[in-house]
Amino acid sequence: MDTRHILITGASSGIGKACADLLREGNRLSLGARRAERLPNLGAEGFRQELDVTDESSVESFLAASDAAQGPVDVLINNAGLARGTEQVANADGRAWREMIETNVLGVLNITRRVLPQMLDRGRGDIVMIGSVAGHEPYEGGSVYCASKHALRSITRAMRYEVLGSGVRVMSVDPGMVETEFSIVRFRGNEAAAGKVYDGTHPLSAQDVAECVQFAIDRPQHVNLDCIQIMPTDQASAKRVHRRDSRS
């Protein structure tokens, strides 16, 4: 088959869902998320199944079924991840820390270490990490989330060295403020608090980020876009955001 098999984690909402919507035409998709009922319906040509990247048995079950349905993975988009809470180190209970590290770091490793060997055997394949501006600059109230994204950035760079000469590409797309369910999750369902994150700004959309992913994987084979850092025009860094009285 000359179409690509693209596997997307965390595909039930936000950037993952936007990637699925944008890449479904002309490709074979496998979509996974903990909220399987919210995964896009791809019809007979797509595969979707519940996936918890922090659970190794869930990862193994998903990959076995995905491979049987769609064949080996050509493109892995490691999108599953989250921020939880804004506690500072001195007043945190640590439960959210474990969830973020297990999802954003160990979850990525759980699935990547099972997909990458087949790519190396075939001498081709793309690994795309959905990182964050938080992986470039930390900020108060986000110490462990930022640490998880710094870790992902280091893993991505190390893998780039490890696969050098194999034909496998490793890339990272690192967005700034994107208006998705990200802040709702961070504020534990408090939509009013989540909305204030974007007050007076024009943030990125999930579609904006998905288009960067598409651009990266559609480059000629000899081109590896190591890192795409994308932010709204209203944002210059993790801590520098321009806000107006109202959105325009």
- What is d(CA 19, CA 13) in angstroms, rounded to the nearest whole number? 10
Secondary structure (DSSP) of the chain: --SEEEEEESTTSHHHHHHHHHH-TTEEEEEEES-GGGS---GGG-EEEE--TT-HHHHHHHHHHHHHHH-S-SEEEE----------GGG--SHHHHHHHIIIIIHHHHHHHHHHHHHHHHT-EEEEEE--GGGTS--TT-HHHHHHHHHHHHHHHHHHHHTTTSSEEEEEEEES-B-SSHHHHHTTT-HHHHHHTTTTS-PBPHHHHHHHHHHHHTS-TT----EEEE--TTBSSSS-B---SS--
Our answer to whether residue 139 is catalytic in this structure is no
Query: What's the token pair of residue 195?
Result: 């909305």
Is the C-alpha dihedral spanning 195, 197, 198, 203 positive or negative?
Answer: negative
Residue 84: count of CB within 10 angstroms of its CB: 18
Catalytic one of 139, 145, 161, 198 = 145
Query: What's the token pair of residue 156?
Result: 């991505």
Which residues does the annotation mark as catalytic? Answer: 145
